[in-house]
Structure 1
Amino acid sequence: MLYPFIMLLILLSTVDLSKQNVTDNILMSLSKGITYFEKQGTHINLDSVVGYIILQGKTLMSGYIFYNTNLVCLSDLYESLSTAVSSLQDTDSKYFKEFEPLLDSSFWSLPAEWSSIDPSLSYTSSRTMECYDEHLSDKCMTLLLGTWKDNGTPCIITKSCRDIMTQFGCLHYFLSHHLLYFMIGSMKGCSRMFKGDMRLSCINITVEHYQRIYNIMKSNQDIFRNGLPGQMQDIFIENILLCGLVGFSDFYKLDWIQSVLLWQYQEVGCFGKEEDLKHLFIYLLDVPHKRVKKREKTLKDGCSSHITGVAVSALGGFLNYYLSEQDKTKMPLI
């Protein structure tokens, strides 16, 4: 069944952060990002398609379509997503089968309520080397999803996955993927298994407890304080997306969203500059045990597939949060 029309607001053709309402900027950016996806969707990798699926299924469909009278209808996103998913099935069939559940918008859920990070759950020390590689991370997630083999049993938590996913002191991508692991387990319905398994371990931790670990916020604060270097933009926006999905409104900061909006190529609508991607790959490959994105790719016009998908989804999260809060207060956003 086709989704209802998606209505987006466009007031100007360029972003003017000092004069325009933040929601206008977000909607304008999303409009351009969706137009880009309609043209390049068959070339975008699975991680990026997931970002657009979260955007389409859980953010823009939240009912805030009458915010302003100057609206434009973008009803082709659903069709473009279907085409992109079919393309993934043909071009990367193994990875597609392993993570196919994430391509269903019903898999993802909006937070029932907003909460704040608890600084007391921060750990004080960090490792000098990263914790695990992407292959092991993917394997542990497929064990939760039940896609580790045909008709596989879901919610399997092996000792090696438990140990690596509850390891403290991890940084950057590894910390965010620890959170993603618990998110997937919770959305798949594995929470009871998590609790039972954790009682057997030396780490007294639950899904909710782990999600509240403060270090992801600390990581983003440090990245922002250091001027958002190009090689760190990807993890910065990934943290906003994941923590926003969990329900932490702390990550929806106006100065952060203003920075993300400036990363968009205004002419074509994608995110992630080519020169920044070069710095990102040097950063990942030059340091031992860093997570290397196996399926990251540079798209037409020198844009990052991963950053583009994650950025539009995170912006949709910003939009959902700010508009829901405005509904409660009936006050201007800025």
Structure 2
Amino acid sequence: MITKYAAGFISSHQRSHRLTKFTCQHQNQESRMWRVCLFAFLYLVRVDADDWSFPSKYDAIDGLECLLRYMSRTRKDLNLDGVFGVRMGEGELKSLLTSTEHRFSPELTNRIRDLLGVAESISSDAVPLLAKSAGDYFKNFRPVLKEAWQFQKFRYQIRKLDDRQIEFAKKTKIKEDEMFDEEKSDLCMTGLLGTGKWKEPCSTTDDCLKSMVLEDTNGYHVTHQLLYLSLARRMGCEGVFQRRLEKFEKSWSDLEMEKCSRVYVEMVKAEESGKLEKDVSFRDLFLESIAICGPLGFFQVLRPKWLGMVLAWQNESGCFNLGIPDYEDDYSEAEVREIDKHERQRKLLVDRILSDGCSSHASGLGAGFFAAYVHLYSLRPELLVESGRTFVPAENVAQIRSKLRRCSSNSAALDNPGKDTPYFISLIFVIVVLIGLWRWGKLRRRVLSFTAKLAQTRIV
């Protein structure tokens, strides 16, 4: 009898031990599942919150689509500089799509591919028209319109501006007496192309080289210096020029860093001083500066707050209007002189004001501007968060996104502000799993608790 009772006690004890072990194992598994799901939930919420924030890369995509739709409607009226801007945007989109290191959702990939198709269509239709209307100017710059323009010849690299260069640019006094000469700049660039009076590509003079590496420049002078460097690289002139640059003790990378640091400082000052609001024509230079230094990989110039600001400038039609307002009663005499000075400099650039008052030059630059943002923040969305955002009133965001929706058939600005469908579906799935685990956990704990009590009763 004792032996039988002892065997029964041992058997009950073993069952209790197995039950306890089973309970602990499942509690550990449940705990691990909770941790995994919670991590996935927090990650997806972070991505989702970023996409809902303003501005997001989807706002840049919507802005670009609105602009390209406008330029598609007015392609017959665009000038060479406007078409070149479209080629710049085309190059950024093409570089993004050919990236082998990143995989995007089908929705994002298809949308970027559609925008690239629109840009290619605009360029292919506008170039033959320019051949008939632009004369010698087109002949001199035809090579830059042949295909999409990519500032980085090989793999896209994201770079950081040197803090020392930025501090140096802040302290350096600009030579205000040196007026930028557009004709001289064009002559130097045709030397690289081997057009005009030049017989061979990669041709230059000491005067051209000095002008294009000159320090203490600003405005259109510095942006055209960067264009000159980009064109030289595109034409395969690095070897020829590097030897000539040695006497200036400058490398190619040093020059790009130096010029874009100066651009960055100048644009920050323009924003902080309110110049971008007082002098509407200065926005053309702002767009040009970002559209050049952004594709060179300098992420600091692609500030989120600047994207939001430019989206606010964009017209309902999608273009950019740089008309000068009646400012004589609003600004001081010194401010009026400064605006007039910049406006005279801007008129040196080859621009065409379209019938609705939009600037072909600025609108073309807008294509490069938006595409640079789409490129960077599609590859590195965390930079959009790390760079920080400036608070934008909700009513302003609503106005901007409403405008984008009206001119962009695919805009997700209001109904689905910046959300990639797979992220949205994944987020819902994780929430459902978490709720299911919670409800199942409660039920299972009750069953296990009841079973454990029953086992203990049997032991007793």
Aligning the two structures, in what range does the TM-score lie when normalised by the shorter sequence? 0.7 to 0.9
| Residue type of the alignment partner of 1:49 | V
1:183 aligns with 2:230: yes
Counterpart residue number, 2:209: 162
* Aligned pairs (5 A) from 1:219-238: 219-227=266-274, 228-229=276-277, 230-238=280-288
Aligned partners of 2:110, 2:252: CA distance in 1, in Å?
Answer: 43
* Aligned pairs (5 A) from 1:142-157: 142-149=190-197, 152-157=199-204
List per-residue Cα deviations over 1:260-314 (Å, max 9, x = no partner).
Answer: 1111112x111124336999x9867647984533421211321111111101211
Counterpart residue number, 1:239: 289
Q: Per-residue deviation at 1:26?
A: 1.3
User: After alignment, is 77-86 or 18-27 more displaced?
Assistant: 18-27
* Aligned pairs (5 A) from 1:151-300: 152-199=199-246, 201=247, 203-213=248-258, 214-227=261-274, 228-229=276-277, 230-266=280-316, 268-275=317-324, 286=341, 290=345, 292-300=347-355
Counterpart residue number, 2:161: 117
Q: Per-residue deviation at 1:244?
A: 1.1
Length, aligned pairs only: 312
Counterpart residue number, 1:302: 357
Aligned partners of 2:265, 2:133: CA distance in 1, in Å?
Answer: 38
Quick check: 1:53–1:81 contact (8 Å CA) kept in 2? Answer: yes
Aligned residue among 312, 326, 329 for 2:381: 326
Aligned residue among 29, 34, 38 for 2:68: 34
User: After alignment, is 114-123 or 225-234 more displaced?
Assistant: 114-123
| Residue type of the alignment partner of 2:120 | Y
Q: Is the alpha carbon distance of 1:323 and 1:204 closer, same or farther for their aligned partners in structure 2, counting shifts above 3 Å?
A: same
1:102 aligns with 2:144: yes
Aligned residue among 98, 117, 124 for 1:82: 124
Note the aligned Cα RMSD (angstroms): 3.3
Q: Per-residue deviation at 1:103?
A: 0.8
Q: Is the alpha carbon distance of 1:71 and 1:238 closer, same or farther for their aligned partners in structure 2, counting shifts above 3 Å?
A: closer
Counterpart residue number, 1:128: 176
1:92 aligns with 2:141: no
Q: Secondary structure at the match of 1:300?
A: coil
Q: Is the alpha carbon distance of 1:70 and 1:145 closer, same or farther for their aligned partners in structure 2, counting shifts above 3 Å?
A: closer
Q: Per-residue deviation at 1:246?
A: 1.5
Higher Cα Rg, which structure: 2
1:46 aligns with 2:86: no
Quick check: 1:166–1:178 contact (8 Å CA) kept in 2? Answer: yes
List per-residue Cα deviations over 1:29-61 (Å, max 9, x = no partner).
Answer: 111111111110111111111111121233266
Aligned partners of 2:249, 2:341: CA distance in 1, in Å?
Answer: 35
Q: Is the alpha carbon distance of 1:36 and 1:291 closer, same or farther for their aligned partners in structure 2, counting shifts above 3 Å?
A: closer
Percent of aligned positions that are identical: 25
1:66 aligns with 2:110: no
Q: Per-residue deviation at 1:62?
A: 2.6
Counterpart residue number, 2:458: none
List per-residue Cα deviations over 1:138-186 (Å, max 9, x = no partner).
Answer: 0001101111347x21111201101211222212111111111111111
Aligned partners of 2:361, 2:184: CA distance in 1, in Å?
Answer: 20
Quick check: 2:90–2:148 contact (8 Å CA) kept in 1? Answer: no
Quick check: 2:72–2:122 contact (8 Å CA) kept in 1? Answer: yes
Quick check: 2:88–2:149 contact (8 Å CA) kept in 1? Answer: no
Q: Per-residue deviation at 1:235?
A: 0.8
Counterpart residue number, 2:424: none
Aligned partners of 2:110, 2:147: CA distance in 1, in Å?
Answer: 28
Aligned partners of 1:100, 1:155: CA distance in 2, in Å?
Answer: 16
Aligned partners of 1:105, 1:282: CA distance in 2, in Å?
Answer: 41
TM-score w.r.t. length of structure 2 = 0.61
Quick check: 1:285–1:292 contact (8 Å CA) kept in 2? Answer: no
Q: Is the alpha carbon distance of 1:159 and 1:76 closer, same or farther for their aligned partners in structure 2, counting shifts above 3 Å?
A: closer
Q: Secondary structure at the match of 1:211?
A: helix
Unaligned runs of 5+ in 1: 1-16
Aligned partners of 1:43, 1:277: CA distance in 2, in Å?
Answer: 27
| Residue type of the alignment partner of 2:371 | G
Unaligned runs of 5+ in 2: 1-50, 98-103, 329-335, 390-460
Q: Which has the higher contact order (CA 8 A, sep 6+)?
A: 2
Q: Is the alpha carbon distance of 1:49 and 1:106 closer, same or farther for their aligned partners in structure 2, counting shifts above 3 Å?
A: closer
Aligned partners of 2:291, 2:343: CA distance in 1, in Å?
Answer: 27
Aligned partners of 2:352, 2:338: CA distance in 1, in Å?
Answer: 16
